[in-house]
Amino acid sequence: MTGQGVVWLGSPPFPKAAREALKNDQLRANLKRATTTIRDKRLAVASELDDWEALRESAAAIKRRTARHLDRYLLQLEESVTVAGGTVHWAADAAEANRIVTELVRATGEREVVKIKSMATQEIGLNEHLAEAGITAYETDLAELIVQLGDDRPSHILVPAIHKNRGEIRDLFTAEMGSWGRPAPDGLTDEPAALAEAARQHLREKFLRAKVAVSGANFACAETGTVVVVESEGNGRMCLTLPETLITVMGIEKVVPTWSDLEVFLQLLPRSSTGERMNPYTSTWTGTTEGDGPSAFHLVLLDNGRTDTLADTVGRQALACIRCSACLNVCPVYERTGGHAYGSVYPGPIGAVLTPQLVGVETAASLPFASTLCGACYDACPVKINIPEVLTHLRAEVVEAKGRSAEALAMKAAGVVLDSPRLLGAAQKAAALGGRVLSRDGRIGRLPGPLHGWSDSRDTPAPATESFRTWWRKNKENGESR
């Protein structure tokens, strides 16, 4: 089985989960404030670069080149990492990746590891797997710590604990920190600075004694074997520097051809992600360095459904994702439902296209419908992934696989947002914020493809022009103007 771990088993399908989430006013208020803030910052710093579009084109092209020659670049990466003193492991699926990491940790004789926030290790459920083997994994990113202490799930790519407010975090720290290590100080207030200080103290003792660290990777350069981690807090630097053994689990799509390709991504990623010109810390390492940092470095290359995604000539573009989360922050559906409703490690628009591809459309059939197709995500995406195009493509696949019942599912998922005029207004506003305009009369007629049954009975306000046009063109080109 491929794509293991990506979806949270037992999660309700999106329409059901979304309807529950919509009842949670606190969650919606948190999300709205967060996404609006990040969105505004992103627009401000992206507009500082008048060649933003050229950077996006270049990034998309580098990713296209890499994907089309992925075998070659992975072999090159393997060689350059090995020459630099690292060891490369290949994992066909989650189970194998977990096994490799567990064995590597066991070989050190250690029973605990410190971790840098990493979607790949969340995807494979590494922490749970290590726990079964008697190894404790400590998350060191503040948000991941909050999620871990709360026995919770992350709900946003960039700010995983966005669904929690300061009071909840204070209560959590007070109640739980003691059972994981240094307890929270007495009389802890809910001031963010006080909470951050409590986390600093709690985690520092772990950093200073940890012998093994586990990380993900934002990029890895085939040419040089250089691995890159981008972060803000310094917990990444701690994990990459102080332990003796470093184990990095990296999706095979994270490779880029050359060192100089990073000049494109290091400009796009922070601006798209946190809305900063540059994130506080970026660390790069090439194998091991005598007398500085870990003396053993292991790189685990993870497939886990990525090659299935690669095989789909429309869907493969989703592998270009650099996990900036810009698409989440502009998505009217995400803003309403939060990340948990997606039932996957990968929430929001990118989750809606990546999850069904990694696990198979049958397993996440409602996700391609968890969208208004307003196109804001495509506009925001620094690597120009045409998410609406992939969504409609996957919708067709779901319909093919499931017949009419899928259409009912479609109505339900899209309906969560579209049914209410107020919510649709939000969708349109987000689309306009994304820099696009509505179709001239603000209305579209019959929808093509799988949604036509739905639009037959309604006059559908146009979600957005460009994504719709792309969608229309594609459907017409396929001769499906039903």
Partner 1 sequence: MSSRETVLARIRAALADVPAEEAPQDVPVPRDYRRSHVRPGEDTVTLFAERVADYRANVTRTDRAGLTDAIAAALTRREARHLAVPAGFPTELLPTGGWEWHPEPLDVPALDGLDGAITLAAAGIAVTGTIVLDTGAGQGRRALTLVPDYHLCIVDAEQIADDVPDALARLDPARPLTFVSGPSATSDIELDRVEGVHGPRTLDVIVVESGLDAARTA
Applying CB under 6 A, the residues found at the interface with ligand SF4 are 272, 321-327, 350, 380-383, 385
Q: How far is the CB of 28 from partner 1 (least distance, A)?
A: 14
**Binding status of residue 233 toward partner 1 by CB under 8 A:** yes
Q: Using CB under 8 A, which of the segments 121-129, 240-248, 362-370, 470-478 binds partner 1?
A: 240-248
Q: How far is the CB of 72 from partner 1 (least distance, A)?
A: 7
**Binding status of residue 203 toward partner 1 by CB under 8 A:** yes
CA-nearest of 65, 78, 90 to 224 is 78
Q: Which of residues 68-97 bind partner 1 (CB under 8 A)?
A: 68-75, 84, 90-92, 96
Contact between residue 22 and residue 337 where contact means Cβ atoms under 8 Å apart: yes
Taking the C-alpha atoms of residue 434 and residue 378, their distance in angstroms, rounded to an integer, is 9
Q: Are strands 460-461 and 443-444 parallel, antiparallel or unpaired?
A: antiparallel
**Binding status of residue 240 toward partner 1 by CB under 8 A:** yes
Among residues 350 and 365, whose Cβ is nearest to ligand SF4? 350
Q: How far is the CB of 234 from ligand SF4 (least distance, A)?
A: 23
**Binding status of residue 159 toward partner 1 by CB under 8 A:** yes
Among residues 301 and 322, whose Cβ is nearest to ligand SF4? 322
Q: Using N-to-C axis directions, what is the helix angle for 404-418 and 387-402, rounded to 10°?
A: 140
**Binding status of residue 54 toward partner 1 by CB under 8 A:** yes
Among residues 136 and 307, whose Cβ is nearest to partner 1? 307
Among residues 260 and 478, whose Cβ is nearest to partner 1? 260
Taking the C-alpha atoms of residue 288 and residue 297, their distance in angstroms, rounded to an integer, is 6
* Torsion angle of C-alpha atoms 107, 293, 92, 147, degrees rounded to 10: 90
Among residues 154 and 382, whose Cβ is nearest to ligand SF4? 382
- Among 165, 295, 363, 465, interactor with partner 1 by CB under 8 A: 165
Q: How far is the CB of 272 from ligand SF4 (least distance, A)?
A: 6
Q: How far is the CB of 464 from partner 1 (least distance, A)?
A: 26
**Binding status of residue 32 toward partner 1 by CB under 8 A:** no
Q: How far is the CB of 281 from ligand SF4 (least distance, A)?
A: 20
Among residues 18 and 177, whose Cβ is nearest to partner 1? 177
Q: Which of residues 243-302 bind partner 1 (CB under 8 A)?
A: 252, 257, 259-260, 262-264, 266-267, 274, 276-286, 289, 291-293, 301
Partner touching 28 among partner 1, ligand SF4, none, CB below 5 to 8 Å by kind? none
Q: How far is the CB of 203 from partner 1 (least distance, A)?
A: 7
Among residues 239 and 444, whose Cβ is nearest to partner 1? 239
Partner touching 380 among partner 1, ligand SF4, none, CB below 5 to 8 Å by kind? ligand SF4
Q: How far apart are the first and last CA of the chain?
A: 36
User: Distances from the Cα of 89 to the Cαs of 5, 239, 315, in angstroms?
Assistant: 19, 20, 26
Among residues 239 and 341, whose Cβ is nearest to partner 1? 239
Count residues contacting partner 1 (CB under 8 A)? 97
